Each structure stands twice: as C-alpha cells, then as structure tokens.
Amino acid sequence: MSDGQVTERHQKLQRHLQALVPGACLQAQAPPGIPELPLWLLGDIRSGTRLDSDCAAALMETPPYWSFCWASGQVLARWLLDRPALLQGKTVLDVGPGSGVVALAAAYAGATRVLACDIDPQALAAVQLNAVSLGLAVELSDDLDACLKVADLVTAADILYDRDNLALLARFQRAPRVVLADSRVRNLSAPGYRRGDVMDAVTWPDLDESREFNRVTLYHYGS
Ligand SMILES: C[S@@+](CC[C@H](N)C(=O)[O-])C[C@H]1O[C@@H](n2cnc3c(N)ncnc32)[C@H](O)[C@@H]1O
C-alpha cells in the first residue's frame, strides 16, 4: 500500500466513524496491556478517556467494533506476544479481528503467516490500516472455511457476544490448536475446550463497561 492509499483508508474509516459520532476521529494509541502495538482506535471525543453514556449508546447501536481494542483482544494479544516460540513456523488464523489486535500480535511475535477473517469489511480495512502502520503482514479474508484449511492455530477474542458464534467453536477444531478469549459467556463449556488463565483488562478506549466484562478467560483446544 502506498502512503496515499494509507491516508485514503484512514480517512474513509474516520468518515465512517463520524457518521456515527460527530467529531469522532481515529488516533494511534497503544492499549495499556500491549505497548508494542499502537493501533488506530477511536480517539477522545471530549476531554477524558471515557466515552460519555450518550456516545457509548450511539456507538453500540451499530457498533464499529474495529475502532476499539476489546479486553479479550488485549489479553489474547499479550498471551501471544509472550509466547513467540509457539508461533514459529505456524500459520495463525484470527477470527473476528476487529482492529486486528490479535492477528497483529501473532505477526509481531513471529508467526510465519497470519490470516484475519471478519464478516465486517470495515474491520478488514482497519486490520489492513493497522498492519501497514506497524509494518506487519496480515492477509485478509471473509472466507472462514478456506482459512481453516491452512490454519495451524486459530485465535478468536470477544466474538461470543453473538451467541450464534458458539457454533463456530466446533468448526475451529479443524485446526490442531485453538485459543479463545472471552468475557461475555459465563462458564463457557464447549466440547474439547479447557479453561485456561483468567486475566483482567479494560476495553480501549474505555467504554466503562460492567466490571464482569473486564474479566477475561482463555480457553484452549489441542496442544
Ligand atoms: C467485539 S469485536 C472483537 C475484535 C477483536 N478480536 C478484539 O478483541 O479487539 C468482534 C469482531 O468479530 C467480528 N465477527 C463477529 N462474528 C463473526 C463471525 N461469525 N465471523 C467473523 N467475524 C466475526 C465482528 O465483525 C468484529 O469485528
């Protein structure tokens, strides 16, 4: 992507945000748990770092998920960044990348190939913008079945707010290993998955979500 194309992509995503929240802008910001990965995320609309409840409500009606780095994404990104050996020689597929935080962490930590698969074209555009800004290579796709055929490791953070996505958990097992991060489903029990660490993180920028959504659980399939 040329510099001109990056600027155009940035402006297009920002215009999309401004249609939802007048005055909104994209700002490069590193979420607290992952200083290595500054991302283009929703910038401060007014002074503080928290969105007021009106803005939060407007955003949640047609959510530009990609403009936030979700608590689960931060936890899973950190988990990968701390385990580069796990990624060596591996093709990683991140499902529901949003901003791309987990896919970018996999690329940063040395995965051989990284695919990001999202149903939202704006999210794929955001992943591309963030990847170019960080000088990392991430391939974009909306074809989950094709991606699953080549994945050694599937990752997914905060996609179970949509309960229809629970059906994906069995499909992910076509890959030898899966790591999920979730704070939305209490006591998730999915065949083949075991509970891992539980960690706290805050969605960035801070949506002032209920504290229960700051508690992220990792789930593992395979070894
Ligand atoms: C809450 S965001 C999480 C983004 C990122 N993983 C993070 O933790 O910051 C959920 C993302 O999953 C995507 N998504 C939801 N259902 C999906 C599906 N069935 N297949 C692919 N992407 C999906 C949404 O479009 C959105 O980008």
Which domains, ranges and CATH numbers included, belong to the chain?
1-223 (3.40.50.150)
Using the predicted structure, report yes or no on whether residue 203 has a pLDDT greater than 50: yes
For a mutational test of ligand 1's pocket, the pick from 92, 94, 114, 118, i.e. the residue with the most ligand atoms closer than 8 A to its C-beta, is 118
Per-residue pLDDT at 143: 98
Question: How confident is the model over 45-68, as pLDDT tens digits?
Answer: 654 445 667 767 776 777 899 999
| Predicted model pTM | 0.94
Question: For the chain, what is the HEC assignment?
Answer: CCHHHHHHHHHHHHHHHHHHCCCCCEEEECCCCCCCCCEEEECCCCCCCECCHHHHHHHHHCCCHHHCECHHHHHHHHHHHCCHHHHCCCEEEEECCCCCHHHHHHHHCCCCEEEEECCCHHHHHHHHHHHHHHCCCCEEECCHHHHHHHCCEEEEECCCCCHHHHHHHHHHCCCCEEEEEECCCCCCCCCCCEEEEEEECCCECECCCCHHHHEEEEEEECC
For a mutational test of ligand 1's pocket, the pick from 119, 127, 129, i.e. the residue with the most ligand atoms closer than 8 A to its C-beta, is 119
